[in-house]
Amino acid sequence: MTKEKAKTKHPAKKAKKAVKEPKKTIVEKYFVGIGRRKTAVARVRISLGQDKFLVNSKDFQQYFPTKALQQTAQASLVEIKYPKSLSVQVIVSGGGLNSQAEAVRLGTGRALVKLMPDAYKKLRKAGYLTRDPRMRERKKFGLKRARRAPQWQKR
C-alpha cells in the first residue's frame, strides 16, 4: 500500500528526457578587439557594412578633435588599406584623449587580424598589435607624488 501511495502521490514528477539539438554554427556578424593604453580601454567592433567609424556614438573626427589624434586612431586601418565597406564601432573609456586614441588603434588592429588574418604581418611590423605597458607610477606615502618630496624647510 505504501508503494502505491508513493506512486500516486506525485504523478507529475515523471522524468522527461531532454532532446539534444544539433549544434548550429553561428556566423559572426562582427569581430571584436580590445585595446588598452594606460587606464584607457577601447572595445572595438568591426563589421562588414557601410563606411562608418563611430567612437562613443559620435563620428571619430568629432570625438578626436585634432588631426594627430584622428591619424593615431585610424592608423591600423590605414596601414592595411582597408576597404570602405567596413563599419567600426568603438566604446572607449578612461584615460585622456591620446591614450584613448592609442587604445582604439590597438583594438582596431586586433579586430582586423580576426577579420583578415593575412593583415597580421603588416600590423605587427608597424607596431599596432603591441600593447604599451607603461603606466603611471603610484603615489608613495610621505611624498607629494610618486617621487616628489615635500619642500625642505630650515625652520
Cell digits of residue 93? 573609456
pLDDT of residue 42: 96
| d(C-alpha 113, C-alpha 117), whole Å | 5
pLDDT-above-90 percentage for the chain: 70
| d(C-alpha 97, C-alpha 92), whole Å | 10
Task: Please check whether residue 131 is in contact with residue 124, taking contact to mean a CB–CB distance below 8 angstroms.
Answer: no
pLDDT band at 12 (very low <50, low <70, confident <90, very high): low
Q: How many CB atoms lie within 10 A of CB 145?
A: 11
Flag whether pLDDT at 140 surpasses 60: yes
Element (H, E) at 98: helix 97-115
Q: Which residue has the cell 592609442?
A: 102
Domains contained in the chain, CATH given: 31-126 (3.30.230.10)
Task: Please check whether residue 31 is in contact with residue 84, taking contact to mean a CB–CB distance below 8 angstroms.
Answer: no
| d(C-alpha 154, C-alpha 16), whole Å | 86
Flag whether pLDDT at 15 surpasses 90: no
| d(C-alpha 37, C-alpha 56), whole Å | 17
pLDDT band at 84 (very low <50, low <70, confident <90, very high): confident
